[in-house]
A and B are shown apart, each in its own frame.
Chain A
């Protein structure tokens, strides 16, 4: 069995983190937190459509959506006072954007652990990112099943 290669944006993000020393990795995560895009208007007016990610210590809501072209987009929102969570959501929003549903499902579940953040952030906090990824995959599966 050959391993599915990591989608290019996710691979690039991982390599960017690993190229840095541990302190600078936190800075990069902070930059990601600032880049988390606003959620589309249709979700802003109906935040219930976004699912709460229980693994995150701070309230984050996220939803992975398959568009008409069979491409996935992850939308997420988290408060400004939760920059770590915003950073996690931002990495996945950028890294998963435009992938096919199968490509999203093939992303390794341990991707969050591959960023070299375990010491700088702590394993407990990294669980929040795994929680967002796990939910995104389930949401994709549910939409595939309903199609």
Chain B
């Protein structure tokens, strides 16, 4: 049985899927709930060890969710084993939070969704807000009893796009590039301070429009209100509609998961896929079209 919903926040209640976000005050009150497991997922692999939300388990994107050999996520069977080992069953409510405005938490939320986990929520504002509010942290690492999580199949079609899908999509539907503007124009190959995922070419996927991920968050790191998000991504902004098939991308898929979450769960757009290969694949791939500069560009005839 899933945990209760957070209906305490008028802002969250406005979203298309209010059941996908919780406030820090709601989480603080529900930390002991038997049907709820809190998961921390960070960019910094040691941050959890310095202190985390009481009872939270750690799942690391690099070391837990990726296959160590192939550039691919773990299998559905491995995912089931991983979650079971954290005391998470298929009916458990998962609340994910993390550093860097929930980038990696949103990445985990996207991944858990494509593995078919039903009740995945984000802590609005992430780790930063929890810490800023002076809420409790602990270094006690829980030792959950393993539970049975039946092997699942990852759905690579509904919310995930591959390079070939993106090639076929150019000219057919909106592409949202959520990197920084200089990355989009091709002026630089990486966001400041993040040059480690080397790419050979700069620019963007032709027809993609640039809405940096941070556009979706308020100053305290929480998502902006539904009205504000609509103004950015829908009428008056990008103009996305319910009928659009949309693909988001960034460098390696983590920041675009943050936007994917906003488009799909907060605005309720049905058909949104995240291209996790993103620019580290596209900018290194042979013979794919690239547009440079400020204009979205067209698909070459």
Seen from chain A, the residues whose Cβ lies within 8 Å of a Cβ on chain B are 26-27, 29-30, 33, 52, 54-59, 80-85, 87, 119-122, 124-125, 127-128
Contacts and interface: CB of A to CB of B under 8 A. Distances in A.
Nearest to A124: B196
Contacts of A59: 193
16 contacts: A26-B45, A27-B49, A33-B50, A52-B193, A57-B43, A57-B193, A58-B44, A81-B44, A82-B47, A84-B44, A87-B46, A119-B68, A121-B62, A122-B45, A124-B62, A125-B45
Nearest to A122: B62
Contacts of A54: 193, 195
Contacts of B49: 26-27, 30, 83
Contacts of B45: 26, 84, 120-122, 125
B31 to A, nearest CB: 22
Contacts of A85: 44
B202 to A, nearest CB: 16
A27 B194 CA distance: 25
A120 B193 CA distance: 22
Interface in B40-78: 43-47, 49-50, 62-63, 68
Given A33-B46, A52-B193, A84-B45, 4 more contacts: A80-B50, A84-B44, A119-B63, A122-B62
B17 to A, nearest CB: 30
A120 B99 CA distance: 19
Nearest to A29: B46
B250 to A, nearest CB: 14
A127 B196 CA distance: 7
A121 B62 CA distance: 8
Contacts of A87: 46
A122 B43 CA distance: 11
Contacts of B50: 30, 33, 80, 83
Given A120-B63, A122-B62, A124-B62, A83 B195 contact: no
A57 B43 CA distance: 8
A29 to B, nearest CB: 6
A contact face: mostly helix, strand, loop, or mixed: helix
* Contact-residue size bin, chain B (C-beta under 8 Å from the other chain): 10 to 19
Of A27, A84, A124, most buried by chain B (CB within 10 Å of CB) is A84
Report, nearest first, the 10 A-B pairs whose CB atoms are least far apart. Answer: A122-B62, A83-B46, A127-B196, A84-B46, A84-B44, A30-B49, A83-B50, A30-B46, A84-B45, A54-B195
Nearest to B196: A127
A18 to B, nearest CB: 18
A58 B46 CA distance: 13
Nearest to A130: B196
Contacts of A120: 45, 63
B197 interface: yes
B193 A56 contact: yes
B46 to A, nearest CB: 4
A120 B49 CA distance: 13
B68 A57 contact: no
Given A119-B68, A124-B62, A125-B62, A83 B193 contact: no
A39 B46 CA distance: 22
Contacts of A52: 193
A37 B99 CA distance: 24
Contact of A81 (B68, B99, B193, B195): B99
Contacts of B193: 52, 54, 56-59
Among B43, B44, B68, B197, chain A packs the most CB atoms within 10 A around the CB of B44
A58 B68 CA distance: 24
B196 A83 contact: no
B187 to A, nearest CB: 16
Contacts of B46: 26, 29-30, 33, 83-84, 87
Nearest to A125: B45
